Amino acid sequence: MDRVAIVGVGQTKQERNKIGETFADMVYEAVLKALEHAGMGITQIDNVVSASNDFWDGRTISSMAINDACGSYDKNISCVEGDGTFAAFYGMTRILSGSYNTTLVVAHCKGSESDSAHITNAMFDPIYVRSLGLDAITSSALQARRYMDTYGITEEQCALVSVKNHGNGLNNPYAQLPMRISVEDVKTSRMLADPIKLLDASPISDGACAIILAKEEYAKRITSRPVWIRGIGYCADAYHLGDRDLADCKALEDAAQRAYRMATISTPRKEIDVVELYDAFSYQELLWSEGLGLCGRGEGGRLVESGATSMKGDIPINPSGGLLSAHTVTVAGLVRIAEAVLQLRGEADKRQVKGAKAALAHGVNGPCGQSHCVWILGR
Amino acid sequence: MSNRVAIVGTGQTHHKTRRLDVNGVELIYEAVTRALEDAELTMKDIDAVIIGNMDHFEGINYVDCWSIDGSGGFMKPTLKLTTGGTTGSTLAIAGYHIVASGMFERLLVVGWEKNSESDTTAAITTAFDPIWDRLVFAGAISGLAVEASAYMATYGATERDAARVAVRDRRHACLNPYAHLRKEVTIEEVMASPMLSDPLKLLDLCPRTDGACAVVFASEYVAEKICPRPAWVLGTANRHLYTYLGDADFLGLPSLKRAAQELYAKVEISEPLKEIDVMELYLPYSFAGLSWIEALGLCRPGEGPRLLWDGVTDLGGELPINPSGGVISCNPIGATGLIRCAEAALQIMGKADKRQAPDVRIALSSGFGGCFWSDLLVYGAKKPA
């Protein structure tokens, strides 16, 4: 199989309310930055895949709002609805198909214009579940409780994730909530849905992110620092929460195994230098770490306690501050890829993990991590 | 090197205004099981699933996740694409690229819509910019009415010319057991039907339909083994040119013209009328059947009506268009573009029964939607070089 590289990334600062900017404004900024990063002009982009969600945008055909802004005029274009990691997968296949040389992938969302509780409630079955009021926070609370009960994960261990990631956010100029906080701050923050408290949850954010993918020979011409896609896998679990054991994340395990197989990785903890994963809630970083095979089942709590996932540890997770520091829906996974690229190019400034050669980026769709996408990138 | 890709199975539901006998997931399941049966595969053989619809019609968020029990995507790679009216053709184009990439050998592609659960015009209206377009000039019908008026004013075409398109598609639909509206109409009936948006009348326009379609795309290594006559995908092209209705060029559908130019060059077609054997076009209303075939290069601008009246595009004519009955006879929006793909594939595979055109070697399907956007695919009976 041919190889595909990421040759440029661009992101807006993620903020609580970009009141002065439309979807198109944000996308334009991210795309310009990605082109500049790659040293390319828009005429060198031969096709575009956007990621957006009609519910979050309040627009049917949400891709229509940004076609001008992403420079897709007179180009082939498509739109994946869901997290940016999935859109980037499709963007990659368009190159591997032999049809295109360079794919621009761009995601946008404005949480500030949305009603998260209603929009995420619309994920659930309209007959049996929706009227119970389940949404992203309350369903995740069920999962957090089930996970904590099954493996004896503590509130303090979850809080440590929040402390670490908000602290990492201090080093990331694009993060929305860089904060120096304590476990006590997290534990005493306002209860949202037991056991999830305000500082266990990711914020509502506005932003956009763009990456540029290129075919091998093209990538080598564009940049001396291409970041190669070594592996990619995605997988979806059962829909109804009652059909899953929420303490498990089988779809993530499957997605990770697909990505590791493709990247010929057998011991991820040793072979991966930095991880950017989808920590929409603090407990998720622990659970997803297990699903990714960075530790054994039920060991996520001890992993964060050991300091292994801190900037100084052997497997730093979310040097960017993660979703806890900024969570723009659909954009979040693409930001994980962009951050992984910066790490591998040695361009992550204060949040740089020294000598990173292999990075993992992760995205999620659906309730309680129903569908996961895992990327392995290398330089 | 990339893989060649073929369609090895198709399935669609029976289409109605209201499929009250099934919910959305069951509707999807119906199409999926028929496609698997047609390809003589089981869900175990399928490597991955892609699915699409328009969210605001059913009010389900994360449809890829919600539909798992119907699509068969459980513990498989599953993703969703949506681009409005072009969703079905967007799915077909994605099906081609994802299999061509070598990532998967057998990909199940699903498009669906339960329009009966929606306020279609209200939902479509939200596609447009809330400040500049939405309050004054949105929804699906108004823009098409402007296009029709521009076409008549420029070329002197008449409402009767357009009615001939509806007559053709509705006549063809009677040959298709899956079509929604299976009743012939006459020119007079079209002309006498209620005016919706001048010059468009009820029978000039597509219906709202509940339905789903599924298509199995396979790599060359699989296709040649399991299918006696696969429909090879020769190429795809699309253009989503406009964001604002005010920017759109209402004459001659430039997005289709540009996509066709690219695709014909790619697959080396220079005389589409002669070289293409059948077309399944996303013609949501009658005037499109005049103007858009000009954009596709079948004749010069303004000559569309002559082709229609001469019977060139009827089943039995030189280039049959919409033997299935087309969109005027059946329109489950998220599935509509994929039905065009499935019907074009059936023509190549020789499985189109009473609506089969003779000796189909090359077929073309299209998708339309968004803000005057166009998607195209070309299929062949012969494996591409």
CB B47, CB B216: distance < 8 Å: no
Domain range list for chain A: 4-115+204-222
| CB < 8 Å & 24+ apart, contacts of B69-72 | B69/A238, B69/A239, B69/B25, B69/B29, B70/B24, B70/B25, B70/B26, B70/B27, B70/B28, B70/B29, B70/B32, B71/B28, B71/B29, B71/B32, B71/B108, B71/B110, B72/B32, B72/B43, B72/B46, B72/B108
Residues B137 and B108 in one domain: no
Contacts of B62 (CB under 8 A, 6+ apart): A82, A123, A365, A366, A367, A370, B80
Q: Is A250 on the interface with B (CB under 8 A)?
A: yes
Residues B114 and B173 in one domain: no
Is there a contact between A93 and B241 if contact means CB atoms under 8 Å apart? no
Residues B21 and B130 in one domain: no
Range of the domain at B259: 126-207+247-333+348-380
Strands B48-52 and B78-80: parallel
* Cα within 13 Å of Cα(B99), Cβ side: 32
Using CA coordinates, name the residue in chain B closest to A368: B65
Among the residues of B158-268, which ranges form H helices? 159-173, 187-192, 220-226, 254-267
pLDDT at B136: 82
Q: Is the pLDDT of residue B130 over 80?
A: yes
Q: Is A368 on the interface with B (CB under 8 A)?
A: no
Residues B165 and B215 in one domain: no
Residues in A closer than 8 angstroms to B237, CB to CB, are 76
- The Cα–Cα gap between B363 and B213 comes to 19
Residues B37 and B102 in one domain: yes
Residues B23 and B72 in one domain: yes
Q: Is the pLDDT of residue B227 over 80?
A: yes
Task: Please write the tens of the pLDDT for every residue from A334-372.
Answer: 999 999 999 999 999 999 999 999 999 999 999 999 999
- The Cα–Cα gap between B175 and A356 comes to 63
Residues B82 and B140 in one domain: no
> What is B264-326 written as a DSSP string?
HHHHT-S-HHHH--EEE----BTTHHHHHHHHTTSS-TT-HHHHHHTTTTSTTSSS-B-TT-T
* Average pLDDT over every residue of B221-237: 97
Q: Which of B144, B56, B54, B53 is nearest to B371 (CA)?
A: B144
Residues B203 and B214 in one domain: no
pLDDT at B1: 52
Shortest CA gap B312–chain A (Å): 31
Is there a contact between B243 and A55 if contact means CB atoms under 8 Å apart? no
- The Cα–Cα gap between A160 and A315 comes to 16
Residues B176 and B59 in one domain: no
Task: Please write the tens of the pLDDT for every residue from B194-218.
Answer: 999 999 999 999 999 999 999 999 9
Task: Please write the tens of the pLDDT for every residue from B54-110.
Answer: 999 999 999 999 999 999 999 999 999 999 999 999 999 999 999 999 999 999 999
Specify the CATH number for the domain of residue B21: 3.40.47.10
- The Cα–Cα gap between A27 and A30 comes to 5
Residues B84 and B158 in one domain: no
Q: Is the pLDDT of residue B138 over 90?
A: no
> What is B121-145 written as a DSSP string?
HHHHHTTS-TTTTTTTS-SSHHHHH
Does B338 map to a domain? no
Task: Please write the tens of the pLDDT for every residue from B312-371.
Answer: 999 999 999 999 999 999 999 999 999 999 999 999 999 999 999 999 999 999 999 999
Residues in A closer than 8 angstroms to B6, CB to CB, are none
Using CA coordinates, name the residue in chain A closest to B88: A78
Shortest CA gap A234–chain B (Å): 5
Q: How many domains does chain B have?
A: 2
Where a domain ends, among B196, B226, B256? B226
Q: Could you tell me how many CB contacts below 8 A there are between chain A and chain B?
A: 188
Enumerate residue ranges in chain A where pLDDT < 70: 1
Considering the segment(s) A4-115+204-222 as one domain, its CATH architecture is 3-Layer(aba) Sandwich (3.40)
Residues B140 and B263 in one domain: yes
- Among B61, B68, B219, the residue to mutate for chain A (most A Cβ within 10 A): B61
- The Cα–Cα gap between B82 and B112 comes to 11
Contacts of A215 (CB under 8 A, 6+ apart): A2, A4, A95, A100, A101, A102
Of A64, A94, A258, the CB nearest to B370: A64
Of B55, B93, B103, the CB nearest to A60: B55
ipTM over 0.95: yes
Does B263 map to a domain? yes
Shortest CA gap B160–chain A (Å): 33
